């Protein structure tokens, strides 16, 4: 099949819509179930590229959670700690397969942004991963295959309408890619850059020591940025993106947005949040929203309005700014990647507040010296890749 008709394009008024192969060859995907839409396929194809590159770069199963053509999360299949299993709401599932751990991490780092995501998996979807996907709000999944049990589980989702796409892992696109904007065709060479150790060898700071696990995190950061709408910045810790700032017009806003998400990921692991007791029957998404409100500055208003009873069994104490800062100060060893150079050292100052120790960025700013000096002030190790990773 070299064409799939779609319900509509980005919006319901944009008809007709389809995906097809211009050369008449067969599409590299098969729709196993459902009716994926235009944006679903954009997320699916970007997500597949991301996870297949993560698998190639790390040797580990990988997963991504995509929303509106940017990843909300990306991770490799490292085991989950008891704390991570709890904050990702998977502690009731028992030991998970490596692929399921990858998706739990990708979905769990920024659960609010991942709500209604499109999932990409580097490996054949197994039953563990399917069980995890089945219980979350999601639009669909793309993978190189599905075990019979996994496929049966996923086909029960959304009353049998869940979008399931299988992609041929042997497919290789042409080296030149094209798209149209306003009736004008754009053409460019595909971004075939490989993120490897050699790319990460250009140290510019006094600290030139990066442990092996942080090298993996650098690869995850840069590969994630390769498929994130620019400008973009990515914080990574222990094999997973913990904060992604996408599509901002200024670099510092990317850094702040991603840093806030990384902070929220860490705050969810605090005793104050782990100790929250929710009312019976409160679903995972509602618990996520309740936690977000509890960690936010507006929580005191919730207390004053007396509506905390709709979310918590008992009245939680205020999580003070001082308590939050004390907990955040314990977050260390975070890796930061940027898709283009940092124009000012304010980005480094903000990154430091979220425990960043290792940085990978292209370099090339007229203020590189000031950025390097700021890294040296905090003992950070930074490499210049000399390669920009814009994605539009």
pLDDT digits (tens, 9 = 90+) for 144-172: 999 999 999 999 999 999 999 999 999 99
Q: What is the pTM of this model?
A: 0.95
Q: Which residues of 288-316 are buried (b: 16+ CB within 10 A; e: fewer)?
A: bbbbbbbbeeebeebeeeeebeebbeeeb
Spatial distance between the Cα atoms of 29 and 4, rounded to a whole number of angstroms:
10
- Name the active-site residue from 33, 40, 46, 231: 231
Question: What are the residue boundaries of the structural domains of the chain, listed by start?
Answer: 3-167, 194-267+329-384, 274-318
Catalytic: 231? yes
CATH dotted code for 194-267+329-384: 3.40.140.20
Spatial distance between the Cα atoms of 297 and 5, rounded to a whole number of angstroms:
47
Tokens matching residue 286? 């509602």
- Name the active-site residue from 68, 86, 134, 353: 68
pLDDT at position 304: 55
Predicted confidence (pLDDT) at residue 230 exceeds the cutoff of 70: yes
In whole numbers, what is the pLDDT of the chain averaged over residues? 94
Q: Region 61-84: what's the mean pLDDT?
A: 96
pLDDT band at 123 (very low <50, low <70, confident <90, very high): very high
Tokens matching residue 262? 């990384």
Domain 3-167 has CATH 1.10.10.10: no
Q: Region 256-282: what's the mean pLDDT?
A: 95
Kindly report the CA angle at 83 between 338 and 110, in degrees rounded to 5?
40
Predicted confidence (pLDDT) at residue 317 exceeds the cutoff of 90: no
pLDDT band at 51 (very low <50, low <70, confident <90, very high): very high
pLDDT at position 313: 87
Do 3-167 and 194-267+329-384 fold alike per CATH?
A: yes
Catalytic: 7? no
CA trace torsion 243, 247, 249, 251 (10° rounding): 30
pLDDT at position 293: 86
- Name the active-site residue from 11, 13, 159, 392: 392
Catalytic: 392? yes
Please give the full DSSP string across 164-213, using - where no structure is assigned.
Answer: EEEE-TT----SEEEEEETTEEEEEE-------TGGG--B-SS-----HH
Instruction: Name the DSSP letter for residue 89.
Output: T
CA trace torsion 118, 170, 229, 263 (10° rounding): 60
Q: Region 107-115: what's the mean pLDDT?
A: 93
- Name the active-site residue from 33, 40, 46, 67: 67
CA trace torsion 76, 353, 303, 287 (10° rounding): 0
Tokens matching residue 245? 């700032």
Catalytic: 391? no
């Amino acid at each position: 099949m070299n064409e799939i008709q779609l319900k509509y394009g980005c919006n319901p008024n944009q008809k007709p819509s389809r995906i097809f192969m211009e050369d008449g060859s067969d599409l590299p995907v098969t729709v196993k179930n459902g009716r994926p839409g235009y944006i679903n396929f954009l997320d699916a194809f970007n997500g597949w590229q991301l996870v297949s590159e993560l698998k190639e770069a790390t040797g580990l199963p990988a997963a991504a959670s995509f929303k509106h053509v940017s990843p909300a999360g990306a991770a490799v299949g490292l085991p989950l700690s008891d704390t991570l299993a709890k904050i990702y709401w998977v502690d009731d599932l028992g030991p998970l397969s490596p692929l399921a751990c990858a998706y739990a991490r990708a979905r769990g780092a920024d659960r609010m942004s991942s709500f209604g995501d499109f999932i990409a998996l580097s490996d054949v979807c197994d039953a563990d991963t399917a069980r995890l996907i089945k219980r979350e709000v999601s639009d669909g999944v793309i993978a190189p295959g599905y075990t019979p049990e996994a496929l049966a589980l996923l086909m029960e989702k959304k009353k049998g309408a869940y979008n399931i796409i299988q992609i041929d892992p042997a497919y290789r696109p042409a080296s030149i890619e094209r798209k149209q904007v306003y009736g004008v065709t754009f053409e460019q060479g595909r971004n075939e850059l490989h993120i490897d150790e050699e790319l990460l060898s250009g140290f510019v700071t006094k600290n030139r020591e990066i442990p092996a696990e942080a090298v993996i995190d650098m690869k995850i950061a840069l590969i994630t940025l390769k498929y994130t709408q620019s400008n973009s910045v990515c914080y990574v810790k222990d094999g997973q993106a913990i904060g992604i700032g996408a599509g901002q017009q200024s670099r510092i806003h990317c850094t702040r947005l991603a840093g806030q998400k990384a902070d929220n990921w860490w705050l969810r692991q605090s005793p104050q949040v782990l100790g929250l007791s929710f009312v019976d029957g409160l679903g995972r998404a509602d618990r996520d929203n309740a936690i977000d409100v509890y960690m936010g500055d507006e929580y005191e208003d919730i207390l004053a309005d007396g509506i905390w009873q709709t979310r918590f069994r008992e009245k939680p104490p205020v999580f003070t700014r001082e308590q939050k800062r004390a907990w955040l100060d314990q977050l260390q060893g975070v890796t930061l990647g940027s898709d283009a150079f940092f124009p000012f050292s304010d980005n480094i100052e903000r990154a430091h507040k979220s425990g960043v120790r290792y940085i990978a960025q292209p370099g090339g700013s007229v203020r590189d010296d000031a950025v390097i000096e700021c890294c040296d002030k905090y003992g950070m190790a930074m490499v210049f890749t000399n390669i920009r990773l814009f994605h539009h």
